[in-house]
Amino acid sequence: MTDPIAIRFHDMELPDLAGRPGRIALVLPPDGRAGAAGRLIGAAARRALARLVADPRWHKAEAGDGFEIAWPAGLEAEALVAVKLPARAGVREARKAGSTLARLRGKGALTVLAGTAPHPAEIAFGLALRAYDFDAHRSPDADAPAGAPAVSFHVAQPEAAARAATPLAALAEGVFFTRDLVNEPANILTTEDFAARLGAMQELGLEVEILEPAEIAKLGMRLLLSVAQGSSAPARVVVMRWQGGGDEPPVALVGKGVVFDTGGISLKPAAGMDEMTMDMGGAAVVAGVMRALALRKARANVVGLVGIVENMPSGHATRPGDVVRSMKGDTVENVNTDAEGRLVLADVL
């Protein structure tokens, strides 16, 4: 799984700031007053920052927008980044500021001077989400650094910021898990591999049950199996349970997990069919939510159910006009085999 970038919270004591490599970022109010951060960057860099803040582009910028000053005088850093964030900014603006920091962070280390900026944990969360990069199948680059360097986040109250960031870090991991699943190609994320990845979440405390074709057929899920019957990849139904809320009735989340959707006999046009590897996005979201719940030790009862199939044309595939009986007992005429999602979801629901 792609790991979120490491973010560490520290206080505003930085005696070595002038010699730090990479980039230094400041989160500033609209008037540009840098406070303690301004004193840390030195007089020469403060003058460059003052010129930026006096520029009309800074005044026109929205909350969360940012600018960079290349090779700031008096600092070893390759760039000084300034992000605009009012003291009364909300969570959305704070996350946008974090996204801007991620966009402007460069390839090396990043030192963020946030001081008393609002919602530091949300800024860090936005940074983590924007820094996502799926490179599992890229050809090796000998010149690329080994892993993204950690972000050093300096705030007035680092302990409080770290506490607030802990549940958000779990949420980021759930988001990354979902993104990785959606980005995997269908020859890697097969129905069996998908189910196995969900089964591995038992290590987090989830109860995971994986149903194979014989068990699915015994339950009467004929609609779901009719979608899968044209593929050599066996269908799976995965049930994930998180029991953290006592005796309360659970919330149920249901997701469609079509690892590749050709349309079946009702074949899709070739243009854009490569994107049908993402037709399991609903199941991926359910899986990511369940992962985040477990990591956060959420006080909730949630069951996540996903139907995992591949919709392919073959001599065994469902034909337009076929009639199949659902788990509920209804008969369904399949007029177009590219309507596979509603069949999968009907039985899983």
Residues acting as catalytic residues: 268, 342
- Report the distance separating Cα 119 and Cα 109, nearest Å: 22
DSSP character string of 268-331: PPSTTGGGGGGTTHHHHHHHHHHHHHHHHT-SSEEEEEEEEEEE--STTSPPTTEEEE-TTS-E
Cα 325 to Cα 17, 218, 313, 314: the distances in Å are 69, 13, 21, 21
Token pair for residue 252? 């149920």
Report CA-CA distances (Å) from 11 to 55, 154, 156, 262. 30, 5, 6, 54
Distance CA 285, CA 17 (A): 41
**Nearest-angstrom CA–CA distance, 46 and 72:** 9
CB-based contacts of 235, cutoff 8 Å, min separation 6: 191, 213, 216, 224, 225, 227, 228, 307, 308, 309
The rounded distance, in Å, linking the Cα atoms of 76 and 24 is: 10
Q: Looking at 39-91, which runs of residues are DSSP E strands?
A: 66-70, 79-84
**Residues in CB range of 284: below 8 A, 6 or more apart:** 177, 178, 179, 181, 182, 255, 257
Smallest CA-to-CA distance from 90 within 59, 126, 54 is with 126
Distance from C-alpha of 209 to C-alpha of 17, rounded to nearest angstrom: 52
